[in-house]
């Protein structure tokens, strides 16, 4: 089989890119290791920046997001008793959209067939070949038969564990990593949210986040040591902990209910450089991971797709080969700023085992400063709403 662009991975990054290319008349084939239902069973964050919303709008795939998504004008940082509201609308003139990543992936998936996108699910043993040449190719097994897909470019959208990043020789690559000593225990429940906007809390007992999916579905998190087992956390124990950590005002509005999903996700910061080597470009989690504090993961995947689609468009439609080499530097400039924001919000809102009384006072002083300074709030707001692409 032959195509212009071979995309590995049908998560949000791969599907978004495939739709962007298809809309411009560029041929592509997407190879996904899992089945479609498996991809949709993964529950991820749910706050979309304008860059992500804008991509869905331009693709004409925003109908359900506009109908069911919740535009938010602000969010809160909680420090013990008090809520510090960050008014992103007043400070930046912009909003974020609360809409689950699973929903967005479903929208992209459902439109794939009608728009003639070729997505091969259950593609096993995907391997990349000749990425340093102008004629790279991918081998994979589908229906028990070994296949070959020739392309002009390969785009690795295969997440943190996929084969694409590993195809770039170690001699030209560098990675940067920070693994955190805690994970987020998340609970999804069909109960009304405790607050109309998100609350990120730093309590003496640890971090908590109150988020939502709709007026009738809530998403909550608490941080726990990475060694913790989800079986040790009954729903009641999680609700009790949330009620303490989110502070008395939010706690008085918590509606308890049975969990429909419960899991612990580790926290990691990771960046791989470069994001292009020869005819291979990386997008999304294949190249970088952020801790979920600030919900930048999907939005970074969307901004990578924006840059990658622009470079590929220049190549195929305007015979301009110069944009491809610039992809890595352009994407990484935005990636590093989002890494910095996610890391600093994580640092501010969590208790680290190595922290002593001094570090705790530093957190309290910083939160107090944020509460009293519009300049500090503006800096947080412009990062939270998303830096320009
Ligand atoms: N062959 C083919 N596909 C693969 C392979 C492989 N060997 N390995 C992984 N994949 C697929 C995965 O099954 C998954 O569907 O690549 C896809 C990667 O999707 P995500 O992990 O969702 O990553 P990405 O599309 O970059 O999305 C980034 O979504 O996953 C969240 O936290 C992430 O919010 C971030 C955003
Ligand atoms: C979520 O709703 O799952 C969510 C929201 C904000 C975050 C992380 C996760 O920062």
- Ligand 2 contact via 293 beta carbon (within 6 Å): yes
Task: Report percent pLDDT > 70 for the chain.
Answer: 100
Tell me the pLDDT tens digit for each residue of 128-168.
Answer: 999 999 999 999 999 999 999 999 999 999 999 999 999 99
| pTM score, whole prediction | 0.97
Could you identify the atom of ligand 2 that is nearest to the CA of residue 294?
Answer: 10
Residue nearest to atom 7 of ligand 1 (CA): 162
**Cβ–Cβ < 8 Å for 109, 15:** yes
Q: How far is the CA of 375 from the centre of ligand 2 (A)?
A: 24
- How far, in Å, are 89, 166, 221, 254, 278 from residue 153 at the CA level? 40, 16, 39, 50, 9
Options 12, 19, 22, 72, the catalytic residue: 72
Residue 288 in tokens: 């970088």
Cα angle at 329 between 172 and 289, to 5 degrees?
A: 80
Residue 268 in tokens: 């990691």
- Ligand 2 contact via 18 beta carbon (within 6 Å): no
Tell me the pLDDT tens digit for each residue of 50-95.
Answer: 999 999 999 999 999 999 999 999 999 998 779 999 999 999 999 9
3-state class (DSSP) for residue 40: helix
Task: Report percent pLDDT > 90 for the chain.
Answer: 97
Q: How many helices (H) and strands (E) does the chain have?
A: 12, 20
At 99, the pLDDT band (50, 70, 90 cuts) reads very high
- Domains annotated on the chain, with CATH: 5-69+100-177+268-345 (3.50.50.60), 180-267+352-385 (3.30.9.10)
DSSP, residue by residue, 336-371: HHHHHHHHHHHHHHS--TT--HHHHHHHHHHHHHHH
Tell me the pLDDT tens digit for each residue of 214-273.
Answer: 999 999 999 999 999 999 999 999 999 999 999 999 999 999 999 999 999 999 999 999
Cβ neighbours for 132, distance < 8 A, ≥ 6 positions apart: 277, 278, 279
Q: From the CB of residue 317, how many other CB atoms can be counted at a distance below 10 Å?
A: 11
Whether the per-residue pLDDT at 43 is higher than 90: the answer is no
**Cβ–Cβ < 8 Å for 149, 3:** yes
Average pLDDT of the chain is 97
Tell me the pLDDT tens digit for each residue of 20-34.
Answer: 999 999 999 999 999
At 340, the pLDDT band (50, 70, 90 cuts) reads very high
Beta-strand runs (E) in the chain: 5-8, 28-31, 47-48, 70-72, 75-79, 82-86, 96-98, 118-120, 124-129, 137-142, 145-150, 153-156, 174-189, 199-203, 206-214, 217-225, 259-273, 276-277, 280-282, 288-289
**Across 191-218, average pLDDT:** 96
Options 99, 140, 200, 221, the catalytic residue: 200
Does 72 participate in catalysis according to the annotation? Answer: yes
At 19, the pLDDT band (50, 70, 90 cuts) reads very high
**Cβ–Cβ < 8 Å for 165, 131:** no
């Amino acid at each position: 089989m032959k195509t212009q662009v071979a995309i590995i991975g049908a998560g949000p990054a791969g599907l978004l890119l495939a739709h962007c290319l298809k809309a411009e008349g560029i041929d592509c084939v997407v190879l996904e290791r899992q089945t479609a239902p498996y991809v949709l069973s993964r529950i991820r964050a749910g706050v979309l920046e304008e860059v992500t919303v804008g991509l869905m709008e331009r693709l004409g795939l925003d109908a359900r997001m506009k109908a069911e998504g919740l535009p938010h004008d602000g969010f809160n940082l909680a420090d013990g008793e008090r809520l510090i509201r960050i008014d992103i609308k007043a400070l930046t003139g912009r909003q974020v959209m609360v809409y689950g990543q699973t929903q967005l992936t479903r929208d992209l998936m459902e439109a794939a067939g009608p728009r003639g996108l070729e997505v091969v699910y259950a593609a096993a043993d995907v391997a990349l070949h000749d990425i340093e040449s102008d004629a790279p190719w991918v081998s994979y097994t589908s229906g028990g038969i070994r296949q070959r897909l020739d392309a002009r470019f390969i785009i690795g959208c295969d997440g943190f564990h996929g084969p694409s990043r590993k195809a770039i020789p170690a001699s030209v690559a560098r990675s940067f990593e920070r693994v955190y000593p805690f994970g987020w225990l998340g609970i999804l429940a069909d109960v009304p949210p405790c607050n109309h906007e998100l609350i990120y809390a730093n309590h003496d007992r640890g971090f908590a986040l109150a988020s939502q999916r709709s007026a009738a579905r809530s998403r909550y998190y608490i941080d726990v040591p990475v060694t913790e087992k989800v079986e040790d956390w009954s729903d009641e124990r999680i609700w009790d902990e949330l009620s303490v950590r989110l502070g008395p005002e939010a706690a008085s509005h918590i509606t308890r209910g049975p969990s429909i999903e419960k899991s612990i996700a580790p926290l990691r910061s990771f960046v791989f450089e470069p994001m292009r080597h020869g005819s291979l470009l990386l997008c999304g989690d294949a190249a970088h991971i952020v801790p979920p504090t600030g919900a930048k993961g999907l939005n970074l995947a969307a901004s990578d797709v924006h840059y990658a689609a622009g470079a590929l468009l220049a190549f195929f439609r305007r015979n301009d080969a110069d944009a491809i080499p610039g992809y890595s530097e352009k994407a990484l400039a935005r990636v590093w700023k989002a890494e910095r924001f996610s890391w600093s919000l994580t640092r501010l809102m969590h208790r680290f085992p190595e922290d002593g009384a001094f570090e705790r006072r530093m957190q309290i002083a910083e939160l107090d400063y944020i509460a009293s300074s519009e300049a500090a709030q503006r800096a947080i707001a412009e990062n939270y709403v998303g830096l320009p692409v």
